[in-house]
Amino acid sequence: MIIPIKPWLDLANSKGAAALAGRRSDAWNGLAMSSNVDFEESDLPFRTGPGGLLCANFNHRMEFYHDPILAPEILEAMQPVAGKQIFDGTLGGGGHAEILLRNGAHVIGCDQDQDALDYAERRLSAYDDAFLPVRGNFREMDQILAGLGIGHVDGILLDLGVSSRQLDNPARGFSFRENGPLDMRMDDRAALSAKELVNEWAEDELIRIFREYGEERRAARVAREIVKARAIKPIETTFELSEVVGRAIPKTSAKNPATKVFQAIRIAVNAELEVLEVALEKAVELLAPKGVLAIITFHSLEDRIVKRFMHRRSNPFIDRPEWSEPRSNPDFCFHLPSRRAIEPEEAETRRNSRSRSAKLRIAIKA
């Protein structure tokens, strides 16, 4: 279900962008914003990013929510200048949205987590008409935009997975690091939680998700231990699950043996791969010519989906051994600035360990 939180204000007259441009120059004129300013050294809320675009300095923020990953690279790819409309399908703490807004773009910020929307709305309250938070699943981005009277956008950003805030909050049940109820739903209105999955799914189904989504070699042993444990009493907390998984996978390194199993359950609970595939198809229709699709992934399963999707649509011609000559590709619709994924620089991975596995892929609508 889609619940627009406030009515969308007139995008066409660029009222928001004009107001922001004024506020930005008033507030920051005269400040030395050198591109040499380091994230860690500066206490200014903004620094100059690629091509003179303003980039947020996230040392300066409200309470910590989530560090936006690959922010300068997103800025460079999306060129969020005044007049552009960007759909941020994973608003989270609004870190990426803020740098897009700060440079003049209008942002429709979608998240399925009410806590994220509440936080981002407070953080971005200065952007008035230029920012519209919407509660929903990015799988429904076509309906969300149609409901707002928007046919096409100039950019779509998906920064996949969960935020640090969700991960670090024991009450959300995503992590084995602290004890909490087994939940793992990004959207607390969803019917399926990790508790239901772990206690009610058939052993075969558990094996399948541990193999497919966790790439866990000992999937069958883990599933067997879970089935044995839940026959005695339901598994209700993250520590209980972690302990049961530990019976099947001995600890051999600093890594918690339950890491892959927790990842698999989270992916299944939130149908993360299915919603990604649906959203990518919809993005093709929703992007205006030269519109930018930017996707940040955090594990190989997601990255493989995005890579295949973009590569398949970026060759104007396809060839097969049985054909006498190449034929035009009916799926062609993107130019790729690079066929390779962009990864964070060392300074970012040092500053934010969660960025280590991030990969950004960019496609530009033909």
Question: In the complex, what is the shortest distance from the CB of residue 209 to ligand SAM, in angstroms, rounded to a whole number?
Answer: 17
Question: In the complex, what is the shortest distance from the CB of residue 321 to ligand SAM, in angstroms, rounded to a whole number?
Answer: 39
Contact by Cβ (8 Å): 156, 291: yes
* Interactions with ligand SAM, residue window 90-109 (CB under 6 A): 90, 92-96
Contacting ligand SAM (CB under 6 A), which of 162, 207, 241, 363?
162
Question: In the complex, what is the shortest distance from the CB of residue 273 to ligand SAM, in angstroms, rounded to a whole number?
Answer: 11
Question: In the complex, what is the shortest distance from the CB of residue 275 to ligand SAM, in angstroms, rounded to a whole number?
Answer: 4
Distances (CA, A) of 272 to 182, 290, 307: 18, 27, 16
Q: Does 72 bind ligand SAM (CB under 6 A)?
A: no
DSSP helix/strand/coil, 298: coil
Report the relative pairing of strands 334-335 and 359-365 from DSSP bridges: antiparallel
Contacting ligand SAM (CB under 6 A), which of 111, 154, 183, 348?
111
Nearer to ligand SAM, 113 or 129 (CB): 113
Contact by Cβ (8 Å): 365, 333: yes
Q: Does 117 bind ligand SAM (CB under 6 A)?
A: no
Distance CA 119, CA 169 (A): 14
Q: Does 359 bind ligand SAM (CB under 6 A)?
A: no
DSSP helix/strand/coil, 336: coil
Residue nearest to ligand SAM (CB): 92
Q: Does 355 bind ligand SAM (CB under 6 A)?
A: no
Q: Does 159 bind ligand SAM (CB under 6 A)?
A: yes
Contacting ligand SAM (CB under 6 A), which of 57, 103, 112, 263?
112
Q: Token digits for 237?
A: 């907390």
Strand partners, 342: 360
HEC per residue, 40-86 = CCCCCCEEECHHHCEEECCCCCCCCCCCCCCHHHHHHHHCCECCCEE
Distance CA 278, CA 360 (A): 19
Contact by Cβ (8 Å): 130, 105: yes
Q: Does 116 bind ligand SAM (CB under 6 A)?
A: yes
* Interactions with ligand SAM, residue window 172-211 (CB under 6 A): 186
Q: Which residue has the tokens 């008035």?
A: 128
Contacting ligand SAM (CB under 6 A), which of 106, 139, 313, 361?
139
Q: Does 306 bind ligand SAM (CB under 6 A)?
A: no
Residue span 237-276 as binding mask against ligand SAM, x where in contact by CB under 6 A, dash where not: --------------------------------------x-
Distance CA 140, CA 148 (A): 13
DSSP helix/strand/coil, 134: strand
Residues that bind ligand SAM (CB under 6 A): 66, 68, 89-90, 92-96, 110-113, 116, 137-139, 159, 161-163, 186, 275
